[in-house]
Amino acid sequence: MRTQEAGVDSTPGARRSDKGVGAALQRKEDKRHLFGRGQFTCDLRFPNLHDVAFLRSPIAHGRIVRIDVPEAVRKQVILAADLKGAQAIRAVTDAPGFKAADYPLLAFDKVLFVGQPIALCIGRTRAEAEDIAQQIEVEFEELPAVVDMLAALEPSSPLLHDSWGDNLYLAREFEAGDIEQAREAATVVIEREYRLNRQAGVPMEGRAALAFWDERLDELVFYNSTQMPHQVRYALSLHLDLEERQIHVIAPDVGGGFGIKNIVYPEEIAVAAVARHLRYPLRWIEDRREHLLSSIHCRDTLYNVKAYADVNGRVLGLDVEVRVDAGAYATWPNGPNMELGMAIKNVPGPYRISAYRARGWTVATNKSPIGPYRGVARPGACFCIERTIDEIARAVGREPHKVRMENMVTPDLMPYRSVTSMLYDNGDYPQSVEKAVDLLDLPAVRERQARGEPDGRLIGIGFASYTEQTAHGCGEWITRGVPIIPGYESATARLLSDGSLHLLVGIQSHGQGLETTLAQVAHQELGIDFDRISVRHGDSSLCPFGMGTFASRSMVMSGGAVAKACRILKGRIQAVAAQMLQCAPNEVEVRNDRAFGPNGDVSLREVGQVAYVRQEGLPRDGSPTLDVNATYSPAIDTGVFCYSTHGVVVAVDPDTGYVEILDYAVVEDCGTIVNPLIVDGQIVGGVAQGIGNALYEEIPYDEHGQPLATTLADYLLPGSTEVPEIKIAHMCTPAEHTEYGMKGMGEGGAISPPAAIANAVRDALAGLGAELCETPITPRRVLQAIHIAENRNGVSGGES
Amino acid sequence: MKPAPFSYSRAETLDDAFRIFAAADGEAKYLAGGQTLGPMLNLRLTQPDALIDIARVAELRRAEERPSSIVLGAAVRHAEIEDGLVPDASNGLMRRTARGLAYRAVRNRGTLGGSLAHADPVAEWPNVLTALNAVILLRSIDGMRSVPIREFLIGYLTTGLEPGEILVGVEIPRPARSQRAGISKLCRKAGEFAHSLAVTVIQDSQPARCVLGCAASTPILLTRVGALVASVSAWNADMRSDIRAALEEDLREAGVEPDPFEARTHAATVSRSIMEALSA
C-alpha cells in the first residue's frame, strides 16, 4: 500500500502534533484484538446463561395452520402468543405514500420469507436449543411466492400484505431540467439495464444479543452487537412496556456492522422481551446460516437508463428508472425507502447534468428485508452513471476518463448545487481522475493491451468516480422522511482528579478506531498525553445520548462533539489554573499535561486535585469538578462531500470467464485526515467489500423463494488472495463547515469497485463486443456476455 | 448450526472400529478428518447416533512401498501429501494437487480416504486417482477386498462401501519415469469447490487417461480425448478444436448435456490439463 501526503499541514487551525489530528498512530484497540482479548457479546460469561435458537420458516410464503410443540419442551419454547408486553415492529416513515406493515417479532399468522423467526427456543446450550427447535412441527398452507420484483408489480401477482392492494412500498419521481429537449439535442443515446444482485453484509461477528433482568437496579440489561446502543434503548422502550430508565444497553466489542447492525431486529427484541421475565440471562448468537437467511440483505436494485449526449460525449440528460427489491418487511428504524431515495439522488454523481428525470419503485417480495449496507444505494447509482459514461465515451470514440473529466463539476463551480439539489461543498473532481490515470500508468496498460497476453487473456482498464455525501445534518435527514434524525453527536469530556481524561461519547466504534481518533482530537485540544485518555462508548447508561456509527458520520460528528467539549473543558481548566497561578484565565496556556501562566505552571493533576477534592482552591465563583457535556452539529445540514476515483486493471480469460485484478488504485479526498493509517484501512476494507460486490457475493433465490446461498460454501466472499494490494493517493481539500475540515469517508471504498471493475471488464472485452451490466461479474456471466456477442457478431467478434 | 446429539468413540485399531460399529445403537458413522462430515453434522444434514473416530488408527496412517505400487493409508492427510511426507506414485501430480486442495487448515485435517469415501465428483482425489488408475482397499469384519476406483465410485456421494466397511487405503500403480500429468481446476476463489476439474495422465505406449470432474455424478474417463492425446507428442494450440470435438463426443456418450457455459469451461480445463501434461 502506498500512501501519499496526507495534507494535514495545509489545514487551517490544526497544528501539527505527533499525537494529534493528522498523526499516523497505531490504534489503541489493536492490543486487545491482536491478543485475542476482545470482549464480544459471545465472550461474555454469566452464571446460568441460556442459549436461544430460533425456529425459522422453511417456506417463502404461507399461512401458519398449526404449530405443534411437544409437551416435554413446551416451557422452553416461546411462540408469538407467549410474548407478553411486546409490540410488533412498525417502521413508519414520513415518505409520502409509504405503506407500512407490522413486522411481527415471531410469525403467527403468515410467514413472508424463508428464515423468518417463528419460535424462540431456550436451551442450556445452543445445540440443546436447536434440538428443541427440531422437535417443533409447523403445518403451513403454502401460498405462491413473490420472487421477481417485476412480476410483483403485475396486477395478477399474489400479495404479501393483503391490505396494501399491491406489492409496492412506495414510488418516487423526480424531474429537473428539460429531458425532452436533451433527447432532441442528443447525437448519442445510450440505453442500458443494470442490475446489482442481492447480497448480505457478513460482518466478522454476526448479530448477538444477551439480556437479563437486574433485580437490584430494576432494569433490563441488554448486551447487543449494534452500531447504535442509544437508538436500541429507544427502540426497546417503544416495543416493550418499559421506560427508558429501566433499559441499559451495552455494545461491547462489536465485530463490524456495515449497516447490518444499524437495525433493531425482531430476534433481538424477542430475546429482551423473554429475558425480562426470566431469572437467568438469555443470549442469542447468530450463526452464519441465520445471517445469510435473515439479517437484512442489500443492493438488489435494477436500473434502466437512457442517457443523452452530444458528439463529444457531453451528457445532456439522464432518464432513469430504479426498482428496488426490498423484501418482505420494513425494518426499524428506517424501513426500505432510503435505498430508492438515495439512488435517485446520487445517479447524477460528480457530473454537471442539467436535465434529469428519475422514477422509482420499492417493491415487496418474499425475501429477507433489505436495509443499509456500506455505501447504501450509491454502489448501484455509481454503477449506473459510471458504466453509462463509459458507454457514451465508446459511442463517441474517446477515452472514458477524458469524457468523465469533461463532464465533471470543476473546482471553480464549487460550491455546486447538483441537479438533485445536493450541495457539493468543494474539491477538484477531475484531478482525482487524472491522478488515478497516472497511478495505473494508462499508456503502459494500453500498450500491454495492444501487445496481447501470451496466455490469451484480455487486458482491460476501467475507472469510476463518485462524490459522497457524508455527515449530513438535520435538514438532509428530514428530506429523507426518516423517523429518527441523526443530525448531531454528543460527548462528555471529564478531566479526573489525577489529570487523566475520560471521553464519554454517544457514538459507537466497531472497527473504525474511534477510541484512537477521538483521543487524538482531545490531545489536539488539550495537549493531554494520548496514553492518559480513555474513550468510553457503547453504553447507554454511561455515555451521553448519541445516534451511533453509520452514514460516514462518526469522525465529523463525534470528533466535532469531542473537540467542542474539550474546548469548554479547557476554559474550565484555565479558570481553575488561573486561580492557582494568580493570573487571568486567558493568560493560561494548556499543553503537555500542564497549565502555564505568566509566572509559573501547575500540572493538570494539581488542577484536578483542586477541582475535585480541594474545593477551597477554586475561584470564588467557580464550581467543583471538571466535567463538560457538549453536542455538535456541523455548520451545514447538507453534508460535506468526500470524492474519489478508483481505477482498476483486469485480465479476463475468454475461455473461462475469470477476472483477475492486476492493479487497483484509489485517489480520494476526505478533507483533513485525522489518522492516515485508519483512513487507508477504511479504504482498503471498503474496496475489499466492493470487490465482493463486483465479483463474488450473491444470494440468488429460486422460483419458490428459496435462497440458494445459505452457507459460506455458496456465498463467496473475497479473501486475502482475492484482494490485491491497493495503491492509494490522497488529495486534501478541507471542508469549510466542519471541525478541522474533516469529511466522512467510511463507506466510500465500497462505492466504486463494482463500476470500476465492470468498466475494466468491458474494456477488456471491447474487441469481442461484449459488456457486463450486472453484479457480481461471475465467470458464467462473463461467458454469457461473450456468447451473446459472438452470436450477434458472428463468431469472429469485433466491436460494432 | 450445532449437531444433533451423538455418541463419540475413538478407535485405536481397525478391529476396535468394527467392534464399536457393531455394538452401536442406531446409525453409526466413521469419522476421519471431519472436514466434510463436520459441516454436515452442524447443518444437521446428517444426524448419526454414533461417531467412530478412526483418524488415529495406526493401520490407516501408514504408507507402504510395494514393488509395482504404493499404498497410501486412508487417514493420510492432504497436508502430508502436499509436504512430501508420504511416498509418491504420481511423479509429483498428487503433491501438486494437494497444494491446491481447499485451504491449508482443511488440508491439515482432511484425509485422502475421507475424500474418496465422500465421493464428491467435484473433489480432487476421486478424479486424480481415477486418472492414476488407483485401486481402493476396503476392509470389514469379514476381511479385505480391493476394488478399482471406477467401480468404487458409483454415483453422486455414493460408493461401493458396505455398511460397517472401512476404506483403509489406496493402491496406486508405480508410474513409468516417462509418465507426465497435468491438472486444471476452475474454482471462483482460492480454496473453493471446483466447477470444472480435469486431469490428464500420459504414459508412453498406453492411451492417455483424461478425467473430467464436476460434469456428472462421478468422474468421467474421456476415452476419445485420451486417444487423441496419445496420438501426439507435444502440445499444439491447434489441438483445441479437436479436443473440444472429442470431449463433446465423450460427454454425449456419458449422457452429459452441458450448457454453453459448462461446455466452454470443461473444454478449457481439459485442454489445459493436456497442455500441462504434454509440456511437462
Instruction: List A627's β-bridge partners, or say none.
Output: A494
**A127 and B188: CB-CB below 8 Å?**
no
pLDDT score, position A17:
64
Cβ(B13)–Cβ(B62) under 8 Å? no
Cβ(B189)–Cβ(A716) under 8 Å? yes
pLDDT: which is higher, A337 or B19: B19
The answer, yes or no, to whether the previous bond of A415 is cis (omega within 30 of 0) is: yes
B190 → closest Cβ in A653, A721, A784: A721
- Kindly report the nearest CA distance between residue A131 and chain B, in angstroms: 6
Cβ(A568)–Cβ(A628) under 8 Å? yes
Q: What is the CA radius of gyration of chain B?
A: 19
Rounded Cα gap, residues A558 and A588, in angstroms = 27
B189 → closest Cβ in A125, A711, A716: A716
Cell of A726: 491497493
pLDDT score, position A793:
79
Q: What is the pTM of this model?
A: 0.96
ipTM of the modeled complex: 0.95
What single string gives the DSSP state of each residue in chain B? --PPP-EEEE-SSHHHHHHHHHH-SS-EEEESS-TTHHHHHHTTS---SEEEE-TT-HHHH-EEE-SSEEEEETT-BHHHHHTT-S--SSTTHHHHHHHTSS-HHHHHH-BHHHHHHHT-TTSHHHHHHHHTT-EEEEEETTEEEEEEHHHHEEETTEESPPTT-EEEEEEEEPPPTT-EEEEEEE-SSTTSPPSEEEEEEE-TTS--EEEEESSSSS-EE-HHHHHHHHT-SS--TTHHHHHHHHHHHHHHHTT----HHHHHHHHHHHHHHHHHHHH-
Rounded alpha-carbon distances, angstroms, from residue B214 to B116, B217, B229, B255, B270: 15, 8, 21, 14, 12
Task: List CB contacts of A686: < 8 A, sequence separation 6 or more.
Answer: A374, A375, A746, A747, A748, A749, A750, A751
pLDDT score, position A8:
40
Closest among A592, A756, A734, A551 to A662, alpha carbons compared: A756
pLDDT score, position A84:
87
pLDDT score, position A789:
94
Instruction: List A249's β-bridge partners, or say none.
Output: A222
Cβ(A28)–Cβ(A516) under 8 Å? yes
Cell of A215: 433485580
Element housing A762 (H / E): helix A753-764
pLDDT score, position A335:
87
CB count within 10 Å of CB A616 equals 5
pLDDT score, position A16:
53
Compute CA A678 distance to the chain's CA centroid, rounded to the nearest angstrom: 16
**A721 and B260: CB-CB below 8 Å?**
no
Rounded Cα gap, residues A400 and B239, in angstroms = 39
CA torsion through residues A156, A161, A164, A168, sign: negative
Closest among A785, A733, A738 to A761, alpha carbons compared: A785
Sheet holding A600-603, edge to edge: A589-591, A594-597, A600-603
Closest among A691, A697, A699, A685 to A660, alpha carbons compared: A691
Residues of B in contact with A716 (CB under 8 A): 188-189, 192
Q: Report pLDDT digits (tens) over A723-778.
A: 999 999 999 999 999 999 999 999 999 999 999 999 999 999 999 999 999 999 99
Rounded Cα gap, residues A252 and A261, in angstroms = 13
Cβ(A689)–Cβ(A750) under 8 Å? yes
Name residues 217-276 of chain B within 8 A of A (Cβ).
Answer: 260-261, 264-265, 267-268, 271
Question: What's the CA angle centered on A72, arms A71 and A76, to 5 degrees?
Answer: 95
* A130: contact with B, CB 8 A cutoff: yes
Cβ(A257)–Cβ(A549) under 8 Å? yes
- Kindly report the nearest CA distance between residue B14 and chain A, in angstroms: 31
pLDDT score, position A297:
97
Instruction: List A642's β-bridge partners, or say none.
Output: A468
Among the residues of A527-590, which ranges form H helices? 554-581
What single string gives the DSSP state of each residue in B97-134? HHHTSS-HHHHHH-BHHHHHHHT-TTSHHHHHHHHTT-
Give the length of chain A.
800
* A655: contact with B, CB 8 A cutoff: yes
Residues of A in contact with B279 (CB under 8 A): none
A656 → closest Cβ in B39, B192, B268: B268
Name residues 702-741 of chain A within 8 A of B (Cβ).
Answer: 711, 713, 716, 718-719, 721-722
Tell me how far apart the 2 most distant CA atoms of chain A are, in Å. 94
The answer, yes or no, to whether the previous bond of A400 is cis (omega within 30 of 0) is: no
**B261 and A719: CB-CB below 8 Å?**
no
**A711 and B39: CB-CB below 8 Å?**
yes
* B144: contact with A, CB 8 A cutoff: no
Rounded Cα gap, residues A231 and A265, in angstroms = 12
Q: Report pLDDT digits (tens) over B5-18.
A: 999 999 999 999 99
Mutation to test the B interface, candidates A783, A787, A790, most B Cβ within 10 Å: A783
Rounded Cα gap, residues A744 and A511, in angstroms = 15
- Kindly report the nearest CA distance between residue A127 and chain B, in angstroms: 5
Cβ(A384)–Cβ(A345) under 8 Å? no
Per DSSP (E only), the strands in A653-752 are 659-669, 726-731
Question: Could you give phi then psi for residue A27, rounded to 5 degrees?
Answer: -75, 140
Task: List CB contacts of B73: < 8 A, sequence separation 6 or more.
Answer: B59, B60, B61, B62, B63, B112, B113, B168, B169
pLDDT score, position A795:
57
DSSP letter at A10 equals: G
pLDDT score, position A91:
85
CA atoms within 13 A on the CB side of A14: 27
Cell of A255: 465485530
- Kindly report the nearest CA distance between residue B225 and chain A, in angstroms: 18
Counting as low any pLDDT under 70, the low residues of chain A are 1-17, 795-800
**B265 and A130: CB-CB below 8 Å?**
no
Q: Report pLDDT digits (tens) over A366-397.
A: 999 999 999 999 999 999 999 999 999 999 99
Residues of A in contact with B186 (CB under 8 A): 656, 658, 779
